[in-house]
Amino acid sequence: MAEAQSYGIDTPGKIIAVHLNYPSRIAQRGRVPAQPSYFLKPASSLAATGGTVERPAGTELLAFEGEIALVIGTPARHVSPEEGWAHVAKVTAANDLGLYDLRAADKGSNLRNKGGDGYTPIGPVAIPTTGIGEGDWRVRTWVNGELVQDDTSDTLKFTFGRLVADLSQHMTLETGDVILTGTPAGSSVLIPGDVVEVEVDAPGAPGAPTTGRLVTTVTQGTIPFGDFGSKPQVDDLQRIEAWGSEEEHAAAVKAGRATPLDAPTAASPLTDAIREQLKGVAVATVSAALRKRGYVDIFIDGVHPNHEGDTILGTAKTLRFVPFRPDLFKKHGGGFNAQKRAFDTVNPGEVLVVEARGVRETGTVGDVLALRAQVRGAAGIVTDGGVRDYAAVEEFNIPVFSQGAHPSVLGRRHVPWETDVTIACGGAAVQPGDIIMGDRDGVIVIPPFLLEEVAAEAAAQEKADAWVADQVAKGAAVDGLFPMNAEWRAKYEAETGDKA
């Protein structure tokens, strides 16, 4: 096997990378792996220290991942976790670069988004492992001189020896093969002109050996993708995951380093004019207009406002919980889970609607999340479950419709599952973009295409009902007045100039 001096190691026959391993990264991702999982990177992705990597034309999310790389010494096949570390001859630094824009194209294989030319810088020096334990290593990453990753191998969920043993059950690990052992929290996005440096060392070992800094500079590619393969695509979730969190993405937008989250693809029919038209109109009146059109199952039943007199009107953003199961909660309940994503991405004027399957015996919203929605300008929250920290939530201005208070935390009855999908809340089907309207009588769902005509009819009916109530207050009998017969209708039209 030819020596590739610029990498500090022999050119490997296999480059195997681990998906998730550091607890700090696991918490960030919100997925706790029961066992390690892997993907392959091609040898053509190798690059030397001091080199460059292209961000392809038409892409925006090239992310770095500083990692500790293991170089196999003696071949390993069917070895135990206790024996695995002995088969590692050297340790070096690696940068597991990846392009989030192509994640959808790969469907989990990572071939295109992780296998590009230059996407595996490695080196510059490989440290012999003799006399150094598998928990004695440290990895650090700098971007433009700022330290952004700093973690140690003694925190790993899956030790180096266990990785070697697990892989050796399935294949022979040969001399020179490389295992990338996962990245800690702090991975984020690079833009052209950025300089990223990764260093691995063993600070407690004699002489404190170090790989030195593995330096890579990002350049801008100019050749566009052709029409004969999958093209890059990015959505808000990819942006948030690539940058690490919505706050980090927002800071990058402010600094001019990131693309803002996408605006809604279609304008909401809930215009300022319709909002004004519906001001003071009762939910009951709108529900009657919907009933005339065959919509009788549009009620989110069992929910009540946290403030007397609260009303709610906005466009639905949805969040779905599924029933609790320990293994599902372990994978989906932690980190930046669906619940946090929903509250972190709700937009001004949206109502966050939560499917909790009508289970009121657990909290689905608490004070921190409710405050987050308020700060983001949400029009309200509707959940057919319970609310934790109810008294604190009452102190906020945001309207919250729920089944009432419950002190439990997430993980008792629910697993946060997905956002921005069709859900069932309080017996009603709710789709993202539906119009949510609520008052003390309850909450209803208005299909967007019916909003304009329903709003106009309900506003006219509300005005007529107010006139009827005035006649009743003056002593008129309801028979013939409510609903209006021809005689009363003529009086109404004569007095108001409106058609009843």
Binding residue numbers for substrate: 366-369, 388
Smallest CA-to-CA distance from 19 within 126, 215, 140, 163 is with 163
**What distance in Å separates the CA atoms of residue 246 and residue 376, rounded to the nearest whole number?**
12
**What distance in Å separates the CA atoms of residue 269 and residue 46, rounded to the nearest whole number?**
52
Beta strands in 100-194 (DSSP E): 120-128, 138-143, 146-152, 178-180, 189-190
For 255, the enclosing helix (H) or strand (E) is: none
| CB-CB contact of 182 with 172 (8 Å) | no
**What distance in Å separates the CA atoms of residue 214 and residue 428, rounded to the nearest whole number?**
56
Smallest CA-to-CA distance from 99 within 60, 72, 44 is with 60
Residue ranges at the known binding site:
366-369, 388-389
How far is residue 58 CA from its own chain's centroid? 23
Length of the chain: 500
Angle at 300 between CA 299 and CA 303, to 5 degrees: 130
Residue ranges at the known binding site for Mg(2+):
389
| 300 secondary structure, DSSP code | E
| CB-CB contact of 496 with 467 (8 Å) | yes
Task: Report how far apart the first and last C-alpha atoms of the chain are (Å, whole number).
Answer: 90
Q: State the sign of the Cα–Cα–Cα–Cα dihedral 144, 31, 93, 202.
A: positive
